[in-house]
């Protein structure tokens, strides 16, 4: 499974990594976002020379600058910042930037650690840029520019992996199961350079103005009834592949909406 990536990967792969300012779940302090840092680690492994690292956000925030420096502590000389004012949607400036750069691969985290945290950004970008989107990858096995295909490894529950073949160019979000990011070294963090691009066209997010933001409440956990009687049963329950089967594919819009509504009612959400 593990191949030497340098042999199977074409030269001159253009890769962009999108990073964000994360938030520690306990202290709420800004930090390297865990998934984004993994995306960057993957990028540094695959294309250390041609890698472009993009951050879209306000540069006025000194805490954010500290976090960007921490990313640069992973051994990056330069990081491009799209100076997007606060309360402004970052999709449009990122879209324009990526249209200019035309990368073969764009890596992001699955979702941001604060703010909207909707996880929609990679999907919106892939739709607009007409690129494939592969969610929750752990590794890129090979990128072949001549045939225009790449093989990526996708994370599934219970440690399972799935090899996926995808057309170039593509966007992929990186799962927590990917290789842990390298340590951030203070020296290169301090000496790294932020290249700030002013943003011409922005979209003011009027919706956001209205929002009230409060800390997320932990979801109540479903009671887990242990049915297993023996250790062997428990082992099977912990490791066995989840078997599908009960699901069905619905193509009709109305029918699918009804199915969702029924599920929500069954679960007493509505």
Binding site for other proteins (CB under 8 A): 24, 26-27, 29, 31, 73-75, 182-188, 190
Task: Pick between residue 75 and residue 135 the one whose CB is nearest to other proteins.
Answer: 75
Question: Residue 253 corresponds to which tokens in the numbers above?
Answer: 């819009």
Task: Pick between residue 23 and residue 104 the one whose CB is nearest to other proteins.
Answer: 23
Task: Pick between residue 109 and residue 169 the one whose CB is nearest to other proteins.
Answer: 109
Smallest separation, CB 13 to other proteins (Å) = 25
Question: Residue 22 corresponds to which tokens in the numbers above?
Answer: 């994360």
Task: Pick between residue 188 and residue 202 the one whose CB is nearest to other proteins.
Answer: 188
Smallest separation, CB 25 to other proteins (Å) = 9
Smallest separation, CB 71 to other proteins (Å) = 12
Smallest separation, CB 28 to other proteins (Å) = 9
Task: Pick between residue 41 and residue 175 the one whose CB is nearest to other proteins.
Answer: 41
Smallest separation, CB 50 to other proteins (Å) = 22
Smallest separation, CB 227 to other proteins (Å) = 34
Task: Pick between residue 29 and residue 87 the one whose CB is nearest to other proteins.
Answer: 29
- For residue 166, CA distances in Å to 44, 103, 143 come to 21, 15, 9
CA gap 198, 212 in Å, rounded: 29
Closest CA to 168 of 129, 139, 135, 128: 129
């Amino acid at each position: 499974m593990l191949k030497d990536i340098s042999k199977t990967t074409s030269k001159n792969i253009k890769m962009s990594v999108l990073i964000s300012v994360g938030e520690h779940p306990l202290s709420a302090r800004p930090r390297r976002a865990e998934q984004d840092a993994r995306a960057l680690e993957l990028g540094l492994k695959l294309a250390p020379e041609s890698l472009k690292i993009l951050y879209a956000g306000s540069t006025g925030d000194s805490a954010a600058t500290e976090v960007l420096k921490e990313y640069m502590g992973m051994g990056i000389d330069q990081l491009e910042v799209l100076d997007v004012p606060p309360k402004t949607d970052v999709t449009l400036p990122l879209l324009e930037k990526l249209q200019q750069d035309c990368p073969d691969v764009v890596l992001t985290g699955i979702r941001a650690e604060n703010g909207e945290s909707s996880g929609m950004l990679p999907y919106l970008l892939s739709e607009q840029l007409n690129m494939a989107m592969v969610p929750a990858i752990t590794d890129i096995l090979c990128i072949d520019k001549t045939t225009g295909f790449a093989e990526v490894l996708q994370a599934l529950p219970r440690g399972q992996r799935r090899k996926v073949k995808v057309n170039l160019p593509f966007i992929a979000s990186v799962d927590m199961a990917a290789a842990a990011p390298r340590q951030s070294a203070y020296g290169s963090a301090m000496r790294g350079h932020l290249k700030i691009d002013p943003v011409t066209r922005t979209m003011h997010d009027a919706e956001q103005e209205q929002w009230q933001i409060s800390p997320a409440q932990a979801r109540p956990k479903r009671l887990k009834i242990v049915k297993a009687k023996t250790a062997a049963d428990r082992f099977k329950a912990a490791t066995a592949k989840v078997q599908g089967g009960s699901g069905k594919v619905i193509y009709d819009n109305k029918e699918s909406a009804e199915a969702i509504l029924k599920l929500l009612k069954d679960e007493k959400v509505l």
